[in-house]
């Protein structure tokens, strides 16, 4: 069996979690295909993907609640691939928190230590410390049914932290909460995790959540790991079409590389990339709506390349910015989406039907992936 | 739109249908349920408390009550443990024939108790398929207290299972998974997480089984032999005494059984919140 060569023994040594070459099928359906990545000590990695992308399966395989068809799970250098869940020492925060309904908050938190037959005084001390850490002092004698969603989540985290887990695994932890609480809560939890320095893996389908929570984001698509990197890298340097479109919105254009330029119809853009391209190679050009300028580049300090001319089709006000649909005449493309900040909309108002010059301040070339 | 009646109802705020239907309800229930029960108490206490106590304290009567309680107790223990085990297996594993097993467990609900008793006799009686293998002198099961327990187990078989199984099925699977990731063995998870969540269902199922077993008549009269002070349970005692014309003796035990049923019913009815509380 061949494992991913990108995971070297050195990585395994320093990483808190390494998964290597995970594959899994349920009957004829392939859920995971050769997924490999590592999570460093003190790092938060977010597995981002739509439902059915395999992210939950990865989490369950790491926890030992599911077995992979092939591949390895290594926790702090220990190969746990064939070990049952109870011997792995992971801390799973389930989507519904899975607090034990007949136990109080403090009994829930102490459960892992009681299973490990720690002394009563030791359990009490640990529980007291954790209750203080997650600010649940007033609720220690309560049952899960008497707590709010956010409080239940904090109990679930404290309960997993009690036995010093190898890694915390969060299964869509904010899915059950309403939008306003989500934002506050995920900042709170990121703060908490950074304070205690426990390696963590989150799974989510929410790109905003991924960008805000993760030190690194792993983007999954149909059981494959498309890209892993910092939020900045993944957002600004997407390596695949799926990554570009799943995180934020993106305009895509098919073209060819010719002599260091991206060429599509009449358009030719100079590509400044460390990557080398073969002449005539088929590629895709990706640019974000916010990387487009709909005016002449006077006084513009950013690097600007002339793209094409277009006609404003529709202007929509969407709160913090304005979204403009511009009709263009490009091979395989009749409109592009542009977003403009308030400073722009105030200085250069646009109306439908207006002809505009279109320029780009940033774009990416994506090589079609050989599957 | 509204008819004369409905306009009348709205303007006057009085609905004649309401008191009429409530009275009808009670009038129907009175001769069918309430009066028969009341007559036990009226008749039983008519000839004075002394007669009642004397009837109750008769050695045969006390034996019958004790036998009913003991045999029902062991049938309850067996059926609760079995029901718990069956519910655990059937909710956790899917296998070929799973539905057939569930139907079989529930089958005794639909079988007349006399048929159940008769079937046990055919199997365990002196000439029965298995009974003939037993020692004819002293090794027999039929016409002993064990036969009563067997009959009780048969007729109350689905009750505890029927209460426990639905609770198992609605229980979140992630509770057990959480317990496992925290380091618990299967047994620890069952003991600390699964069982406490089933507390209400177990108590409820046990009370139901016990109440049903104490009152069992049809199967018991066939398998027990109905021997006074040896294999005569309380319901059989009532039947025997009534046949002998000792109505006071029968009535005393009937009152005890009725009060006992009220007690269990009250627990099930009023303590439901406590039993199902999280």
For residue range A129-173, list pLDDT tens digits in order: 999 999 999 999 999 999 998 899 999 999 999 999 999 999 998
- For all residues of chain A together, what is the average pLDDT? 89
Interface contact B187, partner A, CB < 8 A? no
Tell me which DSSP letter residue B228 carries. Answer: T
Nearest CA in chain B to A142: B278
Facing residue for B196 by CB, picked from A98, A102, A145: A102
Alpha-carbon distances, residue B174 vs A41, A245, A371 (angstroms):
27, 33, 36
The two structure tokens encoding residue B204 = 């409820």
The string of pLDDT tens digits covering residues B116-144 is 999 999 999 888 888 888 877 777 888 88
Q: What is the helix (H) or strand (E) element at residue B236, kind and residue range?
A: helix B234-243
Structure tokens of A66?
């599911």
Q: Write the CA distances from A26 to A36, A67, A69, A314, B160, integer angstroms.
A: 19, 11, 10, 46, 36
> In the numeric block, which tokens belong to residue A202?
């989150």
Q: Out of B185, B192, B199, name the one closest to residue A86 (CB).
A: B185
Considering only CB atoms, B178 lies closest to which of A89, A92, A102, namely A92
- Taking CA atoms, B121 is separated from B8, B71, B147, B232, B251, in Å, by 66, 18, 9, 17, 30
Q: Which two tokens stand for residue A278?
A: 């073969």
β-pairing, A44-48 vs A200-204, is parallel
**HSE (CB half, 13 Å, CA atoms) of B168?**
20
Using pLDDT thresholds of 50, 70 and 90, give the confidence band for residue A97.
Answer: very high
Q: Which residue has the tokens 């003939």?
A: B132
Interchain proximity A112–B174, CB inside 8 Å: no
- For residue B232, the model assigns a pLDDT of 94
Decide if B179 and A111 are in contact by the 8 Å CB cutoff: yes
Task: For residues B157 and B169, give the distance between their C-alpha atoms in angstroms, rounded to a whole number.
Answer: 19
Contact A86 B181 (CB under 8 A): yes
**Searching chain A, which residue's CA lies closest to the CA of residue B200?**
A102
CA B139 to chain centre: 29
Interchain pair A111, B182: CB under 8 A:
yes
CB atoms within 10 A of CB A229: 18
Across the strands, what pairs with A46?
Answer: A202, A217
B232 touches chain A (CB under 8 A): no
pLDDT per residue over A57-75, tens digit each?
999 999 999 999 999 999 9
Task: Write down the ipTM of this complex.
Answer: 0.84
Confidence at residue A13, expressed as pLDDT on a 0 to 100 scale: 60
pLDDT for B13-27, tens place per residue? 778 898 999 999 999
Nearest chain B alpha carbon to A96: B174
CA distances, B153 to each of A125, B89, B200, B220, B232 (Å): 49, 20, 21, 11, 17
- What are the pLDDT digits (tens) for B107-123? 998 999 999 999 999 99
How much helix, strand and coil, in percent to the nearest 5, is found in chain B? Answer: 80, 0, 20
Whether A34 and A1 have beta carbons less than 8 Å apart is answered as no
pLDDT band at A3 (very low <50, low <70, confident <90, very high): very low
User: In A, which residues are within 8 Å of B179 by CB distance?
Assistant: 100, 111
Residue B177 reports pLDDT greater than 90:
yes
Model pLDDT, residue A249:
87
User: Considering only alpha carbons, which residue of chain B is nearest residue A161?
Assistant: B182
- State which residue of chain A sits closest to B177, comparing Cα positions: A65
Pick from A343, A300, A338: which is nearest to A320 by CA?
Answer: A343
Task: Give residue B204's Cα distance to chain centre.
Answer: 10
Q: Where are the alpha helices (DSSP H) in chain A?
A: 9-14, 55-63, 105-115, 120-133, 149-161, 179-196, 207-213, 231-236, 241-246, 342-347
Q: Do residues A134 and A154 lie in contact, with contact meaning Cβ atoms separated by under 8 Å? A: yes
Probe site for chain A from B182, B186, B196 (most A CB atoms < 10 A) = B182
CA distance A87 to chain B (A): 6
* Alpha carbon A355 to its chain's center: 38
Q: How far is A83 from chain B (nearest CA, A)?
A: 11
Sheet holding A333-341, edge to edge: A292-293, A355-360, A305-317, A321-330, A333-341
**Cβ distance of B183 and A86 shorter than 8 Å:** yes
DSSP designation for A26: E
* φ and ψ of A104, to 5 deg: -70, 175
Beta bridge partners of A315: A324
| Distance in angstroms (rounded) separating the CA atoms of residues A242 and A220 | 9
Distance (Å) from the alpha carbon of A101 to chain B's nearest alpha carbon = 6
Q: What is the DSSP string of A149-167?
A: HHHHHHHHHHHHHTT--S-
Asked if residues A142 and B239 have their Cβ atoms less than 8 Å apart, the reply is no
Q: Which pLDDT score is estimated for A312?
A: 94
d(CA A215, CA A226): 17
**B203 touching chain A per CB within 8 A:** no
Phi and psi, residue A19, nearest 5°: -115, 140
**Would the CB atoms of A94 and B177 count as touching at under 8 Å?**
yes
The answer to whether the Cβ–Cβ distance between B182 and A159 falls below 8 Å is yes
Cβ-nearest to B197 among A63, A101, A159: A101
Position A2 confidence tier, pLDDT thresholds 50, 70, 90: very low
Mean pLDDT of the A22-51 span = 94
Which secondary structure element, helix H or strand E, spans residue A47, and what is its range? strand A44-48
Alpha-carbon gap, residue B193 to A98, rounded angstroms: 11
Q: What angle do CA A171, A223, A177 make, to 5 degrees?
A: 25
Residue recorded with tokens 């993944």:
A234
> B278: which chain A residues are within 8 Å (Cβ-Cβ)?
101-102, 143-145
Residues of chain A found within 8 Å of residue B192, distances taken between Cβ atoms = 100, 111
- Check pLDDT > 50 for residue B210: yes
How does strand A224-229 pair with strand A44-48? unpaired
To test the contact with chain B by mutation, choose from A90, A93, A101 the residue with the greatest count of B C-beta atoms within 10 A, namely A101
Q: What is the pLDDT of residues B234-266, one digit of tens each?
A: 999 999 999 999 988 999 999 999 999 889 888
pLDDT at A175: 79
Q: Is the pLDDT score of B45 beyond 60?
A: yes
Put simply, the chain B residues between 103 and 132 with a CB less than 8 A from any chain A CB are: none
Closest CA to A48 of A248, A202, A177: A202
Is residue B204 within 8 Å of residue B83, measured between CB atoms?
Answer: no
B residues 145-184 lying closer than 8 A (beta carbon) to A:
172, 174-175, 177-184
Set of chain A residues whose Cβ sits within 8 Å of the Cβ of B172: 96, 98
Q: How confident is the model at residue A217 (pLDDT cuts 50, 70, 90)?
A: very high
Residue pairs spanning A and B at CB distance below 8 A: 69
Over residues A240-258, mean pLDDT: 90
A136-168 core/surface letters (b: 16 or more CB in 10 A; e: else): beebbeebbeebebebbbbbbbbbbbbbebbbb
């Amino acid at each position: 069996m061949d494992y991913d060569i990108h995971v070297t023994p050195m990585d395994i040594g320093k990483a808190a979690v390494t998964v290597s070459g995970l594959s899994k099928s349920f009957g004829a359906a392939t859920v995971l295909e050769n997924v490999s990545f590592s999570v460093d000590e003190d790092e938060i990695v977010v597995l981002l993907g739509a439902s059915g992308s395999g992210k939950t399966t990865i989490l369950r395989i790491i926890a030992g609640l599911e077995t992979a068809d092939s591949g390895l799970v290594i926790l702090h250098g220990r190969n746990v691939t064939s070990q049952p869940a109870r011997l792995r020492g992971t801390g799973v925060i389930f989507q519904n928190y899975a607090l034990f309904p007949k136990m109080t908050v403090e009994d829930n938190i102490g459960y892992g230590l009681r299973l490990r037959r720690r002394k009563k005084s030791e359990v009490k001390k640990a529980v007291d410390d954790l209750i203080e850490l997650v600010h649940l002092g007033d609720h220690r004698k309560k049952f899960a049914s008497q707590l709010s969603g956010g409080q239940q989540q904090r109990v679930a985290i404290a309960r997993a932290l009690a036995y010093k887990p190898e890694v915390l695994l969060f299964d869509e932890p904010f899915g059950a909460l309403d939008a306003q609480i989500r934002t506050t809560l995920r900042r709170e939890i990121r703060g908490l995790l950074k304070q205690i320095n426990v390696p963590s893996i989150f799974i989510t389908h929410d790109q905003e959540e991924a960008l805000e929570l993760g030190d690194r984001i792993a983007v999954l698509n149909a059981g494959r790991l498309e890209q892993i990197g910092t939020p900045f890298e993944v957002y600004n340097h997407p390596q695949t079409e799926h990554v570009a479109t799943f995180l934020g919105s993106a305009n895509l254009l098919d073209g060819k590389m010719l002599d260091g330029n991206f060429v599509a119809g009449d358009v030719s853009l100079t590509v400044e990339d460390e990557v080398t391209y073969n002449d005539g190679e088929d590629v895709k050009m990706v640019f974000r709506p916010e990387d487009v300028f709909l005016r002449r580049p006077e006084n513009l300090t950013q690097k600007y390349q002339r793209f094409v001319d277009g006609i404003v089709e529709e202007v929509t006000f969407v709160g913090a910015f304005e979204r403009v649909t511009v009709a263009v005449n490009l091979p395989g493309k009749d409109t592009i989406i542009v977003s403009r900040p308030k400073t722009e909309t105030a200085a250069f108002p646009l109306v439908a039907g207006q002809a505009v010059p279109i320029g780009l301040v940033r774009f990416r070339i994506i090589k079609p992936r050989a599957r | 739109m509204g008819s004369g009646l409905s306009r009348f109802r709205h303007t006057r705020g009085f609905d004649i249908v309401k008191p009429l239907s409530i009275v009808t309800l009670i009038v129907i229930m009175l001769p069918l349920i309430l009066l028969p029960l009341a007559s036990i108490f009226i008749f039983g206490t008519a000839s004075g408390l002394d007669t009642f106590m004397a009837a109750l304290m008769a050695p045969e009567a006390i034996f019958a009550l004790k036998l009913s309680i003991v045999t029902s107790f062991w049938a309850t223990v067996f059926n609760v443990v079995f029901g718990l085990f069956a519910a655990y297996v059937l909710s956790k594993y899917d296998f070929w024939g799973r539905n057939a097993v569930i139907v079989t467990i529930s089958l005794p609900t639909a079988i007349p108790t006399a048929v159940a008793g008769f079937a046990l006799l055919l199997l365990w009686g002196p000439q029965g398929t298995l009974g003939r293998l037993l020692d004819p002198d002293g090794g027999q099961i039929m016409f002993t207290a064990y036969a009563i327990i067997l009959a009780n187990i048969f007729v109350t078989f689905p009750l505890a299972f029927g209460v426990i199984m639905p609770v198992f099925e609605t229980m979140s699977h992630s509770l057990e998974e959480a317990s496992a990731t925290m380091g618990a063995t299967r047994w620890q998870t069952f003991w600390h997480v699964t069982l406490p969540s089933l507390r209400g269902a177990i108590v409820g199922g046990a009370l139901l089984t016990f109440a049903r077993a104490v009152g069992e008549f049809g199967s018991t009269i066939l398998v027990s032999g109905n021997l006074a002070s040896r294999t005569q349970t309380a319901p059989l005692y009532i039947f025997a005494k009534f046949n002998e014309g000792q109505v006071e003796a029968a009535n005393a035990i009937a009152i005890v059984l009725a009060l006992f049923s009220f007690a269990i019913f009250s627990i099930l009815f009023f303590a439901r919140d406590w039993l199902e509380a999280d």
